[in-house]
Amino acid sequence: MALTVASHHGDIDESLVPGTVHLVDLEHTMATQHAKDQKDIVLVPTPSTDPDDPLNWTPRRKYLALTCALLYTWFNGMALSVVYSVLVPLSTALSVTEADLNAGTGYMFLLLGWGLLFWQPFALQYGKRLTYLISLLALVAITVWGPYARGNGQWIANRVLTGFFGAPIEALPETTIADLFFAHERGTYLGWYAFTLAGSNFFAPIICGFINDGVGYRWVFYFQAIFCAVTWVFLFFFMEETNYDRRTVGVVAESNDGVVNPTPDTEKSKEASEDPSDGIKRIPSPVGGSSVATKTFWQKMSVIDKPRPFMMHYRAWQSLKLLSWPVVFYSGFSYGTYLIYFNILNATSSIILGGSPYNFRPSLVGLSYISCMIGVVAASAFTGVFSDRFIIRLARRNNGVFEPEQRLWLFTVSSLVIPSSLILWGVGAAHHVHWFGLIFAMGTTAFANTMGITLSVSYLIDTYRDISGDALTTCILIRNTMSFAIGYGITPWLKNLGYQNCFISVAFVGLAICCVFLVMIKWGKKFREMKRVDYWREVKKRIDLGLVH
């Protein structure tokens, strides 16, 4: 397996299939940087010599940035999920039918996706820090308006604006994680992100039900606005910009005195930077980085990132073009499939548990989401820490070479869990099974949903890390368009088919769709090979323009 050797001018070995990397140095012969705590793990991508390169930050600096991104995700996610356990009382208070409330949620999800065509290019152009702050500030105002959005027109408008300004939650934290962490550890932190994303959506109904019972439906919205405002203050003082204009991609051979060291891997490369002037000196240990940062505190707190060539329109168009790339499309389709199950659960939990024979109060409907939280925690650990160890183990068995499809084997679990959970939830509700059966189904559905988040995003970033900012936008466009469709149609679907027939059909369709991961395991590398030339051409262009982060 050849190393990807890049120069200051973007010279790249275009014979390499995107995503295929030599992750484990079994023979300890690769002249490149390795992990500090695991001597045979190659750092992918190779960090620069700059101590302000996020890959070189100290662990404390990295974890502070990660904490800010996760806090944003958690409280943004809660603001997006205030209505799930109070659908029935909210319908009465706002004079909006339950079908229209769910339709509004569908429009919100549509804008959560398509809004990224503006926000993701904006964040990469002007700074992620600025985007986080604008998003939270707008959500504070829109959430305060929520309990006064009477009638269908105002409610839809409120949900559309919520979706647009909340859209960065869908791709910006993943991009931040890709900025901060290497390939062998990225899955762990994406697991943390999946926990905050899915966990916030399940935690909000737990507290919102009690808030509604205690002080009324308006405070369901007010409390979320207060949480967002406090988070905004925290991010303003502690969230550091992670945009960094990278001049190299993949694995870069270490150099001595400006000359790239030949290794058995670099000698096999198609072109391994034959010009000695292309050599790049590397710091000996990037993990932990330099103890001295070049930025002052006030430079770190700058709201506007450094100036770059205006490319927002190009990035937005590129995100649409990526719809034709098989791996990108599959990642969005997979993500969307698992989100649909989450939407079905949220759209029906208040109706099923609040109706006969269960007759749960809104607070008890909210408490039922504790089961979902347990499922989220379990899935985050499984697809995070465990998946990183799993892919390292498979890479060792594959002569040290990591293929992105290796992580997809974990989808075996969710492909079995999803249909079982949906049948238990829908058929169980139709036959009035004990409430514990439904609560258990909620937990296992949340487990599978969280798996879908982590594995789908990890597969995309593992494959196309250097254009992942735009590829994630494409992924979310697909995912949320699917979510919009199901949010708009779930209520009439249930009324026309009934719980039993509806969920049996959903379960078997879900089983078939989930098993598509087997197609990617079989032919995923061929799909990556199909777009190899296009990918490296795009990466070289971005390096020359300073757009690789």
pLDDT in tens, 26-61: 887 887 888 777 778 888 888 888 888 999 999 999
What is the rounded CA–CA span in Å between residue 147 and residue 143?
A: 8
What is the rounded CA–CA span in Å between residue 472 and residue 128?
A: 15
**Residue 241, phi then psi, degrees to nearest 5:** -70, 130
- Supply the pLDDT for residue 255: 57
Are 342 and 205 contacting, i.e. CB atoms less than 8 angstroms apart? no
Q: What is the pLDDT of residues 401-433, one digit of tens each?
A: 999 999 999 999 999 999 999 999 999 998 999
Residue 350's nearest CA partner among 146, 132, 102, 108 is 102
- Supply the pLDDT for residue 210: 83
Q: What is the pLDDT of residues 171-217, one digit of tens each?
A: 999 999 999 998 889 989 999 999 999 899 889 878 887 888 888 88
Tokens of 156: 């839809």
pLDDT at 391 over 60: yes
pTM: 0.85
**Residue 22, phi then psi, degrees to nearest 5:** -85, 95
Q: Supply the DSSP symbol for 24.
A: B
Residue 425's nearest CA partner among 413, 411, 439 is 439
What is the rounded CA–CA span in Å between residue 255 and residue 260?
A: 4
Q: Report percent pLDDT > 70 for the chain.
A: 89
Average pLDDT, the chain: 84
C-alpha distance from residue 245 to each of 81, 116, 258, 324, 548 (Å): 35, 21, 21, 27, 6
pLDDT at 222 over 60: yes
Report helix, strand and coil shares of the chain as percent, to nearest 5: 70, 0, 30
Residue spans of beta strands (DSSP E) within 304-450: 401-402
Are 530 and 368 contacting, i.e. CB atoms less than 8 angstroms apart? no
Q: Is 296 exposed, middle or buried (0-12, 13-18, 19+ CB in 10 A)?
A: exposed
pLDDT at 530 over 90: yes
What interhelical angle do 435-463 and 411-430 show, nearest 10?
Answer: 150
Helix (H) or strand (E) holding 259: strand 259-260
Q: Is 40 exposed, middle or buried (0-12, 13-18, 19+ CB in 10 A)?
A: middle
- Supply the pLDDT for residue 66: 96
Question: How many residues are present in the chain?
Answer: 549
Tokens of 492: 């009439």
The two counts, helices (H) then strands (E), for the chain are 21, 4
DSSP track, 411-440? HHHHHHHHHHHHHHHHHHHHTT--HHHHHH
- Supply the pLDDT for residue 374: 94
**Residue 24, phi then psi, degrees to nearest 5:** -120, 120
pLDDT at 7 over 60: no
Looking at the DSSP bridge assignments, the partners of residue 260 are: 255
Q: What is the pLDDT of residues 460-518, one digit of tens each?
A: 999 998 899 899 999 999 988 887 777 666 767 777 888 888 888 888 888 998 999 99
C-alpha distance from residue 453 to each of 176, 297, 376, 433, 518 (Å): 16, 35, 11, 30, 18
Distance of CA 304 to the CA centre of its chain: 24
Report the phi/psi class of residue 179: left, alpha or beta, with left for phi > 0 and alpha for psi in -120 to 50.
Answer: alpha
- Supply the pLDDT for residue 231: 97
Are 125 and 314 contacting, i.e. CB atoms less than 8 angstroms apart? no
